[in-house]
Amino acid sequence: MTGAARIALAPLTSDFLEQAITGAGARLSELSDARALVWDGGPNGFPDLPESIEWVQLYSAGVEEFFDAGIFERHPNVVFTSAAGAFAKSVAEATMALLLAGVRYLPEHIRAHSWRQTEFFPHIGTLRGATVAVVGAGGIGREVIAMLEPFGARVIAVNRSGRPVDAPNVVETIPAERISEVWARTDHVVVAAPATDGTRHLIGKDELTQLKPHSWVINVARGSLIDTEALVAALREGAVGGAGLDVTDPEPLPDGHPLWDLPNVIITPHDSNPPQLRTAAFAEHVAANVTRFVQGRELIARIDPEAGY
């Protein structure tokens, strides 16, 4: 990937993204004359790519909808990259807010209309000395791990390869194939793994049963990773302490769904990466990858069609 990099930007344009492309040494081009495409939309309307296209940068970190639409199958010779890691800091910050709110029993505090101090005491916990399983130790997961360190929490990191995660508070890294070893050993769970056929209902009845009555389950990945019916049952029965969900299955979560009425659930409407933060973060990601494209270096967040993300 050498020489002048002609890059198309579609279906929308923005000053942030235009400056990211040109500032990294490339020039904007029509798709028909481009070597790469920055696509800041979803799979609907994705164009048929000319043979000149070598690389496509997608706007989202999760790309399951592009798999479902057959985009990668249509263009087997094109390198696709996702935005994985681009939004990690924002999502990790929201993750910590959900986890801390649960551990410190804030949902009940917020709902209270009278002084019930002693009643709340037994339920208030701490992250100091607690073990947190971070399932999916990629960009978001690693940011969460770093944020957990000053709180004194130990981490069991779970990733696809089992390659050790180098962080002072990681006590063990476990490959995804051995994830069954995690549930009984952890106090809380953060789900930050990609959504694939293999991760659907990664946490179900059996996994929830092995967790502790004080365990909080935080999901900032995709709703499909948790069996919603099993989660509702575990929350009602007190098998787990609570759940902090930025994503749900189904999504949007319909009015009247049991999750809305459970006192030990915090639901945020998939806004851990709000639009006002997303564009600037994506522009930084685009600039980094355009620089690599111009220089002929390996691109960040390359999608593996075999792995599904």
- Annotated catalytic residue within 251, 257, 278, 292: 251
| Catalytic member of 35, 142, 188, 222 | 222
Mean pLDDT of 63-80: 96
Q: Does residue 165 register a pLDDT over 50? A: yes
- The active-site residue, picked from 104, 123, 270, 278, is 270
Concerning whether 285 is annotated as a catalytic residue, the answer is: no
Residue 1 is predicted with a pLDDT of 43
Peptide linkage before 150 cis (omega within 30 of 0)? no
Write down the CATH number for the domain with range 87-267: 3.40.50.720
Residue 2 has pLDDT above 80, yes or no: no
Geometric angle at alpha carbon 276, from 270 and 277, rounded to 5°: 80
Which tops the pLDDT comparison, 13 or 72?
Answer: 72
The stretch 54-69 carries a mean pLDDT of 95
| C-alpha–C-alpha distance, residues 110 and 124, integer Å | 14
Known catalytic residue at 64: no
Give the other-Cβ count within 10 Å of 170's Cβ: 19
What percent of the chain is modeled with pLDDT above 70?
99
Under the banding of pLDDT at 50, 70 and 90, the label for residue 122 is: confident
Per-residue pLDDT, averaged over 76-89, amounts to 96
Q: List, for residues 224-283, the tens digit of each pLDDT value.
A: 999 999 999 999 999 999 999 999 999 999 999 999 999 999 999 999 999 889 999 999
Do 6-82+275-295 and 87-267 show the same overall fold?
Answer: yes
User: What average pLDDT does range 119-142 have in this prediction?
Assistant: 95
pLDDT of residue 3: 54
Residue 201 bears catalytic tag: no
Q: Taking the domains of the chain in order of start, what are their residue ranges?
A: 6-82+275-295, 87-267
Task: Assign a CATH topology to domain 6-82+275-295.
Answer: Rossmann fold (3.40.50)
The partner residues of 217 in beta bridges, in order of sequence, read 189, 243
